[in-house]
Structure 1
């Protein structure tokens, strides 16, 4: 049997019942699964185990032995099944002569250039991607020129939970659960500086707070 190609990126899904493999693209990781091929030795083991259920003794032990051997060692049947699977799936892939990777023809191959899209990007796809990126950047740039905070009090003490009862809140001046003020600070009537709750004098101008 010859060398089996692109064996790095595949999953062996084989069991004692049969052989099956899933092959992956080196770029996008798209997968292709080979056709399930029944394992004659595994089916024979099932027959022996079924017979052992009636006859017991040697036939039962023989069935278990065939099952265990097939699980432990792939053998020629497994290698032949892998070779068949490779030949089935290989037409869905191309190997890039520049980077050496196996890529799926449908998504990651540039037919016009004869290389994978990572080595030779498709111009139209790159242009569309670049245009979308520029639009995104321009949106951010134009938004930065707009004042979107006119209705937001940027100096007010912000909170997402009530400092009194711990309930979650979404803005406002009072807690919807306990009714207490959400702000733990007050404003000096003289200089409008922020004052911690409970303070009797303004820390900026010395004005007495409250009575």
Structure 2
């Protein structure tokens, strides 16, 4: 065929042979991906081949030879019949899709601005973008206010004291609690040597790495 349109935004659903042999094409909008299918058109030669093939599987013999002959007959005529069906499908698809003059994509009616002859990507709706911008601005302002509130609350949180985040007795996550939520064990705050930074064992009087007094930390 010459002057083939819709070369990228369609799927070929045709079946060459079998009892469900026929022609059908699915076109889709290149903006929103919504689809439109042509009505199914039966390919009689392929269907006859399918029925003979089923019969041959049951009875064999002459029907088997007839089925193979019908397969060849169906294959020989499929290409031309498919091209004709595709040509008709394109003419039908033209009623459902528009080609944008700027980006050359095919789009459906909701994605098309008739007054401008452009798709909604190339000719965005100002009102839609305005509402989206207001929503984005609101979210941004809320995030900024939340960050400010978080900074205000930071003064009530003890960030200097080290927390034991996993219970050494049962392995439960403590989330900084004073007692383990899993077994109730008292959790000692972790201490570190002021001189070398090594972690001190609970109750240690001296640092095991540098020998500094724990009482001086």
Shorter-chain TM-score bucket reads 0.7 to 0.9
Q: Is 2:148 the counterpart of 1:145?
A: yes
Match among 179, 201, 208 for residue 215 of structure 2: 208
Match among 139, 143, 154 for residue 159 of structure 2: 154
Matches of 1:65 and 1:168, distance apart in 2: 74
Distance 1:169 1:32, change over 3 A: farther
Match among 107, 116, 141 for residue 113 of structure 1: 116
Alpha-carbon contact 1:160-1:168 (below 8 Å) kept: yes
Report the TM-score when normalising by structure 2: 0.73
Match among 88, 93, 96 for residue 89 of structure 1: 93
Q: 1:9: which partner in 2?
A: 9
Matches of 1:69 and 1:196, distance apart in 2: 85
Q: Could you list the runs of 4 or more consecutive aligned residues of structure 1 that deviate by over 6 angstroms after TM superposition?
A: none
What is the aligned length?
203
Distance 1:14 1:171, change over 3 A: farther
Distance 1:176 1:92, change over 3 A: same
Matches of 1:201 and 1:70, distance apart in 2: 93
How many angstroms does 1:171 deviate by?
5.4
Report the TM-score when normalising by structure 1: 0.75
How many angstroms does 1:68 deviate by?
7.9
Where in structure 1 are there 5+ consecutive unaligned residues? none
Match among 175, 180, 202 for residue 180 of structure 2: 175
> For structure 1, which segment, 70-79 or 90-99, has the greater mean C-alpha deviation from structure 2 after superposition?
70-79
What is the root-mean-square deviation of aligned Cα atoms in Å?
3.6
Q: 1:75: which partner in 2?
A: 79
Q: 1:34: which partner in 2?
A: 38
Matches of 2:158 and 2:75, distance apart in 1: 69
